[in-house]
A and B are shown apart, each in its own frame.
Chain A
């Protein structure tokens, strides 16, 4: 069974009391959060709220306390590499593609843990992002910002994950590219991939999501369905500067 075909009643991803600390600084405190199988969940909050740290800690790239469960299995002690092999991956903030490698090599590395299906997955992703097909042999560092973001997402999806964490995928991109990125995020639902999305375009993110969490000062302050959050007066005031 591939990572994206897991069937269980447990949430795809569950964070229980997750704390992220950098020395004396606590970036996230007692974060409880779930992402159901096939669900798209958005984590929103102001800059410095601890959203990106939570995602980095979830994949083991930031010092983390608390528990992380995948489909009910406690994976708190798994290394980043083990988590990826279990079907969890991250498209990090700022893209962080390997600029000294070609597009093809970035994708090949992304599929290193799923070599049997890598060809098929790559074709599917190149169909979703035709610009990457056109730039296939080009050095990734020479791509435009939007193309680099597409590559970052495609590289993450090459591992055939069941859960993908997307950190600020639309940051600094032209509106047309943002449309492509959000279309792809919606498409992930049909590919049965669960998504935890951190995004600064809150309205757009909640429109494609099933549920959302609001984080501030390192703690989850509010949760609800996307509709509830979109119509929440406090949230509107907090993020959109609108009075109820």
Chain B
């Protein structure tokens, strides 16, 4: 019994970690621009295609290709900010949201027409998908990497957000963006950094997602980014720790329901988990760590 619980906790941490990384990326952009970037999932997809191109087409060593794909994701996010979001900065929230949907749709079409509408297999090294037995626990290498990546990314981000001026400015911007400008820190620097970090996080979670599935398709990012959005709302819009907490909670909830629900109820797993989240939000409308009022 205790092995089963430990196994499920491990599974939940690995899944929740991916949601937390994605949610943190969404929350970072939300904290500086006040909008959810629904094109975030396409950055995951982009990471997958970059990985295929660099490792399979150009023949780069797998891990070099992985790190390069992370860089591609971060640079793409910064480029999207420059080309698409900066021109509409200061416009209404509706305009900003429509822009994110437009970018998402454009990227879908580009992926479908210029790459492939069908899933493309990614050659994942065998050792990455291997598993090992430890006192009754079946631990996958990918699960370990997923946990490790999440922990390292969260520690790195915490250090950045606590000790660098740009990181402090990003935390301040999450509360009051206009007053953050009064600190003399260029708004563009804060916003581009937020996008680049959110792209990097999308890249990290994109790699973990692709490694689990073994393929990339144009709509790959849709479901995880939707889950991450739920995690961000659950944690509290605008709260960076909230996004992490929401991600892990959602991961735990999904794994718990998968393990405990009878097989005939399994198709309703998402509906049940969303009902639980709605109940939490009814009790705490601003999310678990959200503020009642955000000044922007």
Which residues from chain A sit less than 8 Å from chain B, CB to CB?
Answer: 59, 61, 79-81, 84-85, 89-90, 92, 96, 98-101, 105, 108-110, 112-113, 155-156, 159
Q: Which of A81, A85, A96, A112 contacts B179 (CB 8 A)?
A: A96
A121 to chain B, nearest CB (A): 14
How many Å lie between the Cα of A96 and that of B177 in the bound state? 11
Could you say which interface size class chain B belongs to?
A: 20 to 34
A132 to chain B, nearest CB (A): 17
Q: Determine chain B's interface SS by DSSP, over half rule.
A: helix
Residues on A with C-beta less than 8 A from B169 are 109, 112
Check: B267 CB closer than 8 A to any chain A CB: no
Pick from B106-114, B183-191, B196-204 the stretch touching chain A: B183-191
How many Å lie between the Cα of A155 and that of B168 in the bound state? 14
Residues on A with C-beta less than 8 A from B168 are 101, 105, 108-109
Q: A98, B181: Cβ atoms under 8 Å?
A: no
Q: Which of B162, B175, B183, B184 contacts A99 (CB 8 A)?
A: B175
Q: Given A96-B295, A101-B168, A105-B168 in contact, is the A112-B174 Cβ separation under 8 Å?
A: no
Check: B93 CB closer than 8 A to any chain A CB: no
Check: B71 CB closer than 8 A to any chain A CB: no
Chain B 255-296, CB-CB to A under 8 Å as 1, else 0, gives: 000000000000000000000000000000000000000010
Check: B227 CB closer than 8 A to any chain A CB: no
Residues on B with C-beta less than 8 A from A80 are 178, 181-182, 187
- The 3 A-B residue pairs whose C-beta atoms are closest, nearest first, are A84-B184, A113-B184, A80-B181
How many Å lie between the Cα of A174 and that of B183 in the bound state? 28
How many Å lie between the Cα of A81 and that of B2 in the bound state? 57
How many Å lie between the Cα of A83 and that of B295 in the bound state? 22
Q: A89, B182: Cβ atoms under 8 Å?
A: yes
B200 to chain A, nearest CB (A): 23
Residue of B with least CB distance to A114: B184
Residue of B with least CB distance to A59: B182
Q: B295, A85: Cβ atoms under 8 Å?
A: no
Q: A81, B174: Cβ atoms under 8 Å?
A: no
Q: B172, A98: Cβ atoms under 8 Å?
A: yes
Check: B171 CB closer than 8 A to any chain A CB: yes
How many Å lie between the Cα of A115 and that of B171 in the bound state? 19
Check: B84 CB closer than 8 A to any chain A CB: no
How many Å lie between the Cα of A81 and that of B183 in the bound state? 7
B206 to chain A, nearest CB (A): 29
Q: A100, B175: Cβ atoms under 8 Å?
A: yes
Question: Would you mind naming 17 contact pairs between A and B with Cβ atoms under 8 Å apart?
Answer: A61-B181, A79-B187, A80-B181, A80-B187, A85-B184, A90-B182, A92-B182, A98-B175, A98-B176, A98-B179, A100-B172, A101-B175, A109-B165, A109-B168, A109-B172, A109-B183, A112-B169
How many Å lie between the Cα of A92 and that of B178 in the bound state? 11
Q: Which of A92, A100, A159 contacts B183 (CB 8 A)?
A: A159
B115 to chain A, nearest CB (A): 40
Most buried by A among B165, B169, B174, B295: B165
Residues on A with C-beta less than 8 A from B165 are 108-109, 112
A157 to chain B, nearest CB (A): 12
Residue of A with least CB distance to B239: A100
Q: A98, B171: Cβ atoms under 8 Å?
A: yes
Q: Given A96-B295, A108-B165 in contact, is the A101-B184 Cβ separation under 8 Å?
A: no
Residue of A with least CB distance to B238: A100
Residue of B with least CB distance to A152: B179
Q: B171, A84: Cβ atoms under 8 Å?
A: no
Residues on A with C-beta less than 8 A from B186 are 79, 81
Q: Given A100-B171, A101-B171 in contact, is the A112-B185 Cβ separation under 8 Å?
A: yes
B229 to chain A, nearest CB (A): 22
Residues on A with C-beta less than 8 A from B187 are 79-81
How many Å lie between the Cα of A90 and that of B183 in the bound state? 10
Residue of A with least CB distance to B179: A96
Most buried by B among A84, A90, A108, A109: A109
Q: B171, A159: Cβ atoms under 8 Å?
A: no
Residue of A with least CB distance to B241: A100
Q: A61, B183: Cβ atoms under 8 Å?
A: no
Give the residues from 136 to 186 in chain B that come closer than 8 angstroms, CB to CB, to chain A: 162, 165, 168-169, 171-172, 174-176, 178-186
A23 to chain B, nearest CB (A): 13
Given contacts A92-B179, A100-B174, A108-B168, 17 further A-B contacts (CB under 8 A): A81-B186, A90-B182, A92-B182, A98-B176, A98-B180, A100-B171, A101-B172, A105-B168, A105-B171, A109-B168, A109-B169, A109-B183, A110-B183, A112-B165, A112-B183, A155-B183, A159-B183
How many Å lie between the Cα of A99 and that of B291 in the bound state? 11
Q: A113, B179: Cβ atoms under 8 Å?
A: no
How many Å lie between the Cα of A90 and that of B174 in the bound state? 20
Most buried by B among A79, A98, A101, A112: A98
Residues on A with C-beta less than 8 A from B174 are 100
